Amino acid sequence: HNWSYIIDKKPLWQTASFSVKSGDKLAIIGPNGCGKTTLLKQFLKAHNKHLPNVQIAGGAKIGYFSQDIDILDPDKNLLRNLQSTSSQSEALLRTVLIRLRFKREDFFKPIQLLSGGEKVKAALAKILVSDCNVLMLDEPTNHLDLDAVTALEELLCNYPGTLIFTTRDCRLLKTIAKNLLVFEGTKLNFFPGPYDDYSNKQIYTEYTEATADILLIENKLAEIISHLSLNPTEKLEAEFQSLLAKKRLLLSKQSS
């Protein structure tokens, strides 16, 4: 509630107020460098110690995935890594690994022998089957091939806990997110609905704004035409041509 974050005297977000309910699947979106990863890390910080204006439910157990993949134990093989933080049966762990396109012979491989993409999948699998009930995933589909992304989408769709994630993958946004947290400048706005609704709302807003601008330009053009018929000048003609060009541009945006 009324939460702000300032770094090097630069506000990343100001007086944001929102809540994330149990079982929600929330996507954080915005341009590169706006503060999405910082926001996730602040949630994690609030979980580990008190932060003013940020409340984390007492029963929340947060699992955090980031690109540095620091949750894998290099001294354990793939299956043992999953077992170390999960109370689920070995059969279920093996099923999740298979769904993420691991082969049975991979289960006992030391982590060091996995490729970069396999390590990402292993870290995601470890979090998915862990005893955490809130997952925070920072760009989870980076370094994954299309087959692995599809498999991850299926697992996340069926995940029963709370999911908070950042991504630039439109497909993941459309498939998984139920609600959005949107960086717009230094504003952090909660949007109660899926990505398609947000996207359509943006298009509608841009369309109606363009329509209002076109009406304004048409009024000005009518005024200039009346002046041109009485007292034509180069300045009026230049303004007339400039307004015509702006109108053409707005019309082309509406039709695209």
Residue with tokens 């704004």: 209
Q: Are residues 19 and 69 in the same domain?
A: yes
Q: Are residues 156 and 222 in the same domain?
A: no
Q: Are residues 131 and 70 in the same domain?
A: yes
Q: Give the separation between CA 3 and CA 18, rounded to whole angstroms.
A: 9
Backbone region of residue 21 per phi and psi (left: phi > 0; alpha: psi in -120 to 50; beta: other values): beta
Rg for the chain, CA atoms, rounded: 25
Q: Are residues 119 and 231 in the same domain?
A: no
Exposure string of 113-144, with b = 16+ CB inside 10 Å and e = fewer, is ebeeebbbbbbbbbbbbbebbbbbbbbbbebb
Q: Are residues 63 and 174 in the same domain?
A: yes
Looking at the DSSP bridge assignments, the partners of residue 192 are none
Of 193, 210, 241, the residue that ends a domain is: 193
**CATH number where 146 lies:** 3.40.50.300
- Domains: count for the chain: 2
Q: Are residues 251 and 126 in the same domain?
A: no
Q: Are residues 91 and 205 in the same domain?
A: no
Q: Are residues 165 and 219 in the same domain?
A: no
Q: Which two tokens stand for residue 217?
A: 């330009």
Of 169, 193, 217, the residue that ends a domain is: 193
pLDDT in tens, the chain (256 residues): 678 888 877 888 888 888 899 999 999 999 888 899 999 999 988 888 878 888 888 889 999 998 777 899 988 999 999 999 999 999 999 999 999 999 999 999 999 999 988 999 999 999 999 999 999 999 999 888 889 999 999 999 999 999 999 998 888 999 999 999 999 888 888 888 999 888 887 665 565 667 777 778 888 888 888 888 888 888 888 988 898 898 888 787 766 6
Q: Which domain holds residue 216?
A: 200-255
Q: Are residues 68 and 118 in the same domain?
A: yes
SS3 164: strand
For the whole model, what pTM was predicted? 0.75
Q: Are residues 12 and 103 in the same domain?
A: yes
Of 178, 193, 208, the residue that ends a domain is: 193
Q: Are residues 165 and 71 in the same domain?
A: yes
Please say whether the dihedral angle defined by the alpha carbons of residues 20, 23, 29 and 32, taken in this order, is positive or negative: positive
Q: Are residues 182 and 209 in the same domain?
A: no
